[in-house]
Amino acid sequence: MTTGGDNRARLLALYGTMCRIRAFEETALAAHRAGEIPGPLHVSIGQEGVAAGVCRNLRRDDRITSNHRGHGHALAKGAGVAGMMEELFGRAGGHCRGKGGSMHVADFSVGMLGANGVVAGGIPIAVGAAQGLRILGSDAIVCCFFGDGAINRGPFLEGLNWAALYRLPVLFVCEDNGVAAFTEAASVTAGPGIAARAEALGVPCLSVDGNDAVAVDEAASQLVAELRAGAGPRLLHATTYRITGHTSTDPAAWRDPAEVEAARGAEPIGRLRARLLGEGVAARTLDTVEGDARAEMSQARAAALAAPWPDPAVAWEDVQDAGAVQGVR
């Protein structure tokens, strides 16, 4: 039986995770604008409820795969902030030694198998990981995050088909923000949508308001329990909204200002804050959570800026075949 205190702790944990994700990405955006981070960033501001709600139900040994907008997934799964920030800065202490950057960050120590710059690219990786876990006799599961743009790509069909055929323990999570880069998903998606496509392959789908972190947590809890019981793959369809542009260089002037303003009023952190205040949590407690998150990320930014660059010699490591280039092997 869940007590009031237990539920409040759960809500505060969700709130804290979302605040850390938001603070990380806002800090990273500021660093990019200051010229400290090379290359553009794909942030998930406004979508934090999905990452927080889903990953709260995963064990450390469970695996996840992500997409090009994966900072939140990595942080929610437990990836270290210092390694995350240094990775964005291209520094030697990054989780991928500065080689992956924003779109390819990974942290195998917490089961984060990697973000992916290829749309839908994480889906077959997740399915392969689940097949591998079954061969190894592990009871861990795999969670695969992707956007609505991925459902029109071949790996979506192939991945769900394989997972359903072999009843693999994969939780497919579609963060449906209604837009693929700059294109409205509805304008390029035929038929009734993702749920119908998944169910046609025998993969049950549960839809949820992705801006309600508590609802996401509850839905993920149900689906993860089914996965661990051996029921086969499941799909969680979470509708949400990306408040920012496609990348850190996109001012999103192409969006309807009224639509964006409405989305700001329904974003997940503000919604959960209002709920916590309604349940008697003091505003100063929530302010402290937010302030601590911002301070943590500010310190990580300063540390990353001062961190050493990778040794050029390691450029030829971690690749499939470096070959011989100007006498270097």
What CATH number does residue 177 fall under? 3.40.50.970
CB 210 within 8 A of CB 240: yes
State the pLDDT confidence band at 95, using cuts at 50, 70 and 90: very high
As for how many domains the chain has, the answer is 1
Q: What is the rounded CA–CA span in Å between residue 284 and residue 60?
A: 31
In a domain, 110, yes or no: yes
Task: Report percent pLDDT > 90 for the chain.
Answer: 79
In a domain, 160, yes or no: yes
- What residues make up the domain containing 300? 7-308
In a domain, 313, yes or no: no
In a domain, 168, yes or no: yes
Q: What is the rounded CA–CA span in Å between residue 194 and residue 192?
A: 7
In a domain, 116, yes or no: yes
288 to 4, 15, 294: CA distances (angstroms): 21, 12, 10
Please state the length of the chain: 329
Q: Please write the tens of the pLDDT for every residue from 62-87.
A: 999 999 999 999 999 999 999 999 99
Pairing of strands 179-180, 183-184: antiparallel
In a domain, 323, yes or no: no
| 3-class DSSP state of 147 | strand
pTM of the model: 0.92
Q: Please write the tens of the pLDDT for every residue from 13-72.
A: 999 999 999 999 999 999 999 999 998 899 999 999 999 999 999 999 999 999 999 999
Q: What is the rounded CA–CA span in Å between residue 238 and residue 65?
A: 16
- Mean local confidence (pLDDT), 151-156: 94
Q: What is the rounded CA–CA span in Å between residue 225 and residue 231?
A: 9
In a domain, 329, yes or no: no
In a domain, 13, yes or no: yes
